[in-house]
Structures are given as C-alpha cells and as structure tokens.
Amino acid sequence: MKAIKPSPFRGRWHEVPDEGKKGRTMRIRFYNARILTMKENAEIFEGELWTSDDKIIYCDTTDQITDYYKENPEVMLVFDREIDCKGNLLMPGFKNAHTHSGMTLMRSRADDLPLAEWLNEQVFPVEAKLTAEDIYYLTQLAILEYLDGGITSIFDMYLTPESIADACRDAGMRCVQVGAANNFSQSAEFVEEMYNKINGKDEYNSYIIGFHAEYTCSKELLQKFSDLAHKYKAPVFTHIAETAPEVAGCRERYGMSPLQLLDSLGMFDYGGGGYHLVHTDEADMDILKKRGMYAVTNPGSNTKLASGIAPINDYLKRGIPVAIGTDGPGSNNCLNMFREMFLVTGLGKLRENDAACIDAIEVLKMATVNGAHAMGLKDSDCLEAGKLADLIMIDMSQPNMHPVNNIAKNIVYSGSNSNVILTMIGGVIRYEKGEYNIGRSSQEIYSKVEEIKDRIYKEL
C-alpha cells in the first residue's frame, strides 16, 4: 500500500515525497458484490469491480468479463488482493460537502448556545490559540470519523490550509478546501496564495476561492473575492443565510439579502454555492438557479443551533442542485452522513407537512453525486471504469438492512456507520472492519488531541 510520510511542520508547504507514488500499481478485485453505481437511472446489479492504481478499470456484471478481456487484451490482471464481498454493497463514498474538521477540539465543549454566542464566546477564543500543528492532528481525528462513516471526500473550511492539506495528504483523504477569510483572519491575498499553492500539488488536495460570510467581511473585502473569481474564472463558496438575524442584518446594512448583495458584486458569475441557505426568498432562489449554484445543506448543525430548516423541497422543484455537509464537530457534534441524510428528508417532510417530498433516492444522490460535483470532483461521483476508485462497502448482513426491499432507501432511512465495513480512496483501502490505514495509529492521534485539549483549555 501507499507509503505515507508525516508532515514535518516547518510552517510552510513541504514537498510531496515521490516514494509510494511513482511505480505503484495496486490491483484489487471485488467480486460477489451488489453494486450501486449512482449513475443516472442505474439499478443495483450483482457483479465485480476491479481497481488498478487509483482508478476503477472494471465495474459490471460477471457475465461481461469475457468481453472485457477481448476488448482489453493488453491488461494483465494479476490482482494483489481479491475480496469476496459476499453479497455486500459497493457504492461511491459519501462526499461531506461542508465541514470544519479542525473543530474536533470543541466537540461537546461548546454546546446548547445560539450561534452568535457560540461563535463569540466559545469558538473564536479557542481558535485564537490553535497552531498549525494542532489543526493537523485535530483534522486527522476528524479523518478517522470520516473513514469509518464512509466519507471519501471533504469540503473543508478552516484556519491553516497548509497543515490541513498535509493532514489529508498524509492520511490519504481527498480534500477540497475553501477560503475562510474575514475581517479578522486570513485575507483575499492569502486565499489567492493558497489557491495557487495547493491546487495541483498532489493527488489528494485542491482549493476553491471562498470566505467566511457576508457578516464577517467588509464590502471592500467582498469585492476582492469577486475580483478573484473573475481573475481565475472560478466558483466561490461561503456561508449564506444561515440564520434569520444574519439576513436581517444584511438587509439593514445594504437593503438586500446576503445572496442578493453578493450577486450584485458579481461574486457568482462563474458559479459556486452557499453553505446552509436556510433563510432564502424567491429572489434568492432565482439567483441560485441563474448562477448554477449549489445549495449545501447542513441539517444537523442547523437543528442543534436552532437556525431553522432549509427549504430543500423548493430547491429541488427549481432544479437547484443540493449537496449535504455535516458542518463542523463543534456545532454538530458528529461527522455522520447517515444522520445528515435522514435529517434532510425528515426535516424537509416536517417543513412541508408532506411525507411524500424529498425522496430518499434524491437524498442519496445529494450525499454522493451532487457533493462530488459541488467540490469539482467529477471523477469520483459514481462507480464506472475510468473514474477514481473512491468507494465504500456496506454490510448487508446486519439486521437494519433486512428484509431486502429497497437497498438505496434502507441506506438513507435505517443505515448507520456500523454498516460501513470498508472505505477506499484512490484505490487504497483506508478503513476496513475497524482498522485504519492512514500512516499512524488512532491511539497516537487520540493522545495528541488530548494534549492539545489540556493545553488550550488550561490557558483560557
């Protein structure tokens, strides 16, 4: 398996080691599998999936293997490992389309407070004391939770992009970062620097232009991000309309909603999206549709912080693509996409007083395909030859998966992290039946995080 080299923490982006990357060809065969590709209108079928290096090279029924050999005579299929799936389900990994991984430190420490008080009294004082090395280990703690819950890609927004990139690269987690600038930390210039430094540096990391939110940025700073979007012809992501007071404050300052203000600056001329989007009106939805934006919903966090229920059914009716994120472990408090999927459909039904709205199949698409597209990861949206081998195996032998009536709906309505028995990213198995393969032990990470916790909270 791929060699992993820990980050040296020199305060700068370090060179990606060549060992373990060049010359590696790992071939794995999954057979006796149920396969849910998540391709449009595709049904679950029984068959095989083969990976070579970081790609899927075969994903079809067993009957088609002979034809594959005929069409690909040059392929030498000597497998490093053959896995009997025993009827378990292979599907694309979940895409956590909004998170703040480094906030694991605040899990169950900053609870039962409204958003403004939570941020100003619990979050910001702690974040002021965090180092890049702290965030490296706090991110790796989150990665353990992502892996055992079947999450293969994260859309992360936090304070030290280089150490976050190191943490994800070293652990083999696919990570798209987005800028977190505001009036108090980072800057438009820093976001541009990270955009140019992280993109293309290694196979695991990429970076998208973004900022924290309208209410933490001056209009002059917001204009700089719009200018960056036009300079690079790139999408922009940010928190938008998370709470009613946020929207009211923007209307008081500028006479329009946050989304309308940002659009007036040309912020989304090249697309992008908003995190939360709980309190939007018809004009906001027109902008989302017109600009081809993604609505990234975070129902667990919005429920816990009493921010409200996003109008997901309205977005779906308008053809606005919806993706799902957990938000950070300081506000959620877990990083569990099964819970988020259930909340998306459950809260949506309550909001609309309609048990038929927001179908579970659509929710599963939000958690996989739409999340991948929002993050610019179109090579890991579904299971298909030529796509990245980012996949998970769901244990079909557990009682919550029986009887086998509708597997896809079972995943949304009754699935849990305990059903995930394998997580593969880029052709490397990073989690399997309780064991992690991320270059260091989970106990080492736990011990380091406890040290960080004791130091930070002692100083407060």
**DSSP per position, 111-154:** -S--HHHIIIIIIHHHHTT--HHHHHHHHHHHHHHHHHTTEEEE
* Burial class of residue 459, CB neighbours in 10 A (0-12, 13-18, 19+): exposed
Give the pLDDT mean for 446-452.
98
Per residue in 196-245, pLDDT (tens digit) is: 999 999 999 999 999 999 999 999 999 999 999 999 999 999 999 999 99
Q: What is the pLDDT of residue 114?
A: 78
Domain limits of the chain?
Answer: 27-92+391-435, 94-379
Look at residue 22 and tell me whether its pLDDT is greater than 70.
no
Token pair, residue 425, equals 């990213």
**Percentage of the chain modeled with pLDDT above 90:** 87
> Could you tell me the CA-to-CA distances from 383 to 172, 408, 428 in Å, in that order?
19, 15, 15
| pLDDT per residue as tens digits for the range 277-291 | 999 999 999 999 999
At 363, is the secondary structure helix, strand, or coil? helix
In sequence order, the β-bridge partners of residue 206 are 176
Structure token pair of residue 375: 């993050």
Supply φ then ψ for residue 354, to 5 degrees. Answer: -145, 105
Check pLDDT > 70 for residue 155.
yes
Superfamily, domain 27-92+391-435:
Urease, subunit C, domain 1 (2.30.40.10)
Token digits of residue 155: 């859309």
* Percent with pLDDT over 70 in the chain: 95
Question: What distances in angstroms separate CA 97 from CA 291, 342, 406, 452, one per listed residue?
Answer: 19, 16, 26, 27
What tokens does 172 get?
């083999």
Task: Report the SS3 class of residue 43.
Answer: coil
Question: Which residues on adjacent β-strands are paired with residue 290?
Answer: none
Mean pLDDT of the chain: 93
Residue pair 58/50 in contact (Cβ under 8 Å)? The answer is yes
211, β-bridge pairs: 181
Strand order in the sheet with 174-178: 94-99, 151-156, 174-178, 205-213, 236-240, 272-276, 294-297, 322-324
CATH assignment of 94-379, given 3.10.310.30, 3.10.129.10, 3.40.640.10, 3.20.20.140? 3.20.20.140
Specify the DSSP element, H or E, that contains 445.
helix 442-459
Rounded to an integer, the average pLDDT of 155-180 is 98
Task: Give yes or no for residue 3 having a pLDDT over 60.
Answer: no
As a whole number of angstroms, the distance between CA 18 and CA 140 comes to: 22
Distance of CA 393 to the CA centre of its chain: 18
311-348 pLDDT tens trace: 999 999 999 999 999 999 999 999 999 999 999 999 99
Q: Confirm if 196 and 173 have CB atoms less than 8 A apart.
A: no
Q: Is residue 397 scored above 60 in pLDDT?
A: yes
Is the pTM higher than 0.85? The answer reads: yes
Rounded to the nearest 10 degrees, the angle between the axes of helix 188-198 and helix 161-171 is 30
Q: Show the DSSP H helices in 353-430 as ranges.
A: 360-365, 371-374, 407-414
Q: Are 368 and 92 in contact (CB under 8 A)?
A: yes
Question: What average pLDDT does this structure show over 171-177?
Answer: 98
